[in-house]
Amino acid sequence: MRAGLALLVLAACQAPRTTPPAPYLLVLGSAQDGGLPQIGCREPACMRARQDDTLRRRVTSLALVDPRDGRRWLLDASPDLPEQLELVEHVAPLAPRGSPRPPLFEGIFLTHAHVGHYAGLAQLGREIYGARELPVWCSQRMGAFLRSNGPWSLLVDTRAIELRALEPGAPVPLAPDLSIDSLRVPHRDEFSDTLAFVVHGPGRTVAYLPDIDKWERWDMPLEDFLARVDLALVDGTFFADGEVPGRAMTEIPHPFISETLARLGAAPLELRRKVVFTHLNHTNPAADPKSAAARAIRAAGMRVARDGEVIALGED
């Protein structure tokens, strides 16, 4: 069995056999932009992931599914979108539309212009799927980047996608009891600013914050952010300093998981249990659930996201 197909089967097996009747999030990936294993990587973690499909991770992305009417949305369009769509189809098949080329999603929400978060848009052009007027919600600056730079501008010019501007603090209503709000967060903004999303469901609120610099650079304290939600998928790119050989970690600023553990060490367990790390780099030892790093996370009351897991947004 090919590794990609095997991963999809394994991820599907990790999801509940029966999905919730209310809206839910499906974790499509939990790795940093290069996935695990990463191209050209010969480190032990990558070699183990090539030999053991349970250790593989696709690039960070979420699907939001409303099973009440069969609609679904995508949060970040990763380079792994083709395989991730297969997982979505397995867990939440597209409702019949009577069209030979139905929209794959009701819309896509983009956090920012780093390759792991928007490169999947290339799959929507006329060379591949040929989408038509698919809504893509993003910040105004991200929209300007897509309009002004090829090949993304061709998606706009041919009306494969329809850009819609997000305004932080102005939720996008998807159903009477389902919406997505956005917040600006500090990050390396070479091409666009960076957003986090807060998904408000009928019973639970879940945050998606895969990329940020250091917590101290954000004008919102992490503790206050966590207090506003029921669960938060947050930046877990690196576990600790010195993790990337030959590179200064200051060049790729993220809050180390070890820093988050220390910061929240004295916080109530109820708050710590809200933290789910995602966007793990291929160098991050916490990507292996048997590692000491993963055990330290669990001991702190937190956990690492699993590809294929379902996060319910309805009442418990």
Mean pLDDT along residues 150-170: 96
Q: Amino acid identity, residue 103?
A: P
3-class SS of residue 248: coil
Mean pLDDT, the chain, as a whole number?
92
Structure-model confidence comparison of residues 4 and 135, the more confident one = 135
Q: Could you give the percent of the chain with pLDDT greater than 90?
A: 84
Name the helix (H) or strand (E) containing 181. strand 178-185
Residues 6+ apart with CB under 8 A from 18: none
Residues 6+ apart with CB under 8 A from 309: 14, 15, 26, 27
Q: Which CATH class is domain 3-312?
A: alpha beta
Name residue 115's beta-bridge partners: none
49 vs 90: CA distance, rounded Å? 23
pLDDT tens readout for residues 62-87: 999 999 999 999 999 999 999 999 99
Name the helix (H) or strand (E) containing 73. strand 71-75
Mean pLDDT along residues 121-129: 96
205 vs 210: CA distance, rounded Å? 16
The C-alpha torsion from 183 through 20 and 60 to 115, rounded to 10°, is -70
* Predicted local confidence at residue 17, as pLDDT: 52
Banded model confidence at residue 95, pLDDT cuts 50, 70, 90: confident
pLDDT at 11 > cutoff 60: no
* Predicted local confidence at residue 9, as pLDDT: 45
What are 101's two structure tokens? Answer: 């080329």
Q: Is the sign of the CA dihedral 67, 57, 248, 266 positive or negative?
A: positive
189 vs 205: CA distance, rounded Å? 27
* Predicted local confidence at residue 27, as pLDDT: 98
Q: Say what the pTM is.
A: 0.93
What are 67's two structure tokens? Answer: 């099973």
Comparing CA positions, the residue from 75, 82, 90, 74 lying closest to residue 19 is 90
172 vs 109: CA distance, rounded Å? 10
DSSP 36-67: BSPTT--SHHHHHHHH-GGG-BPBSEEEEEET
Banded model confidence at residue 32, pLDDT cuts 50, 70, 90: very high
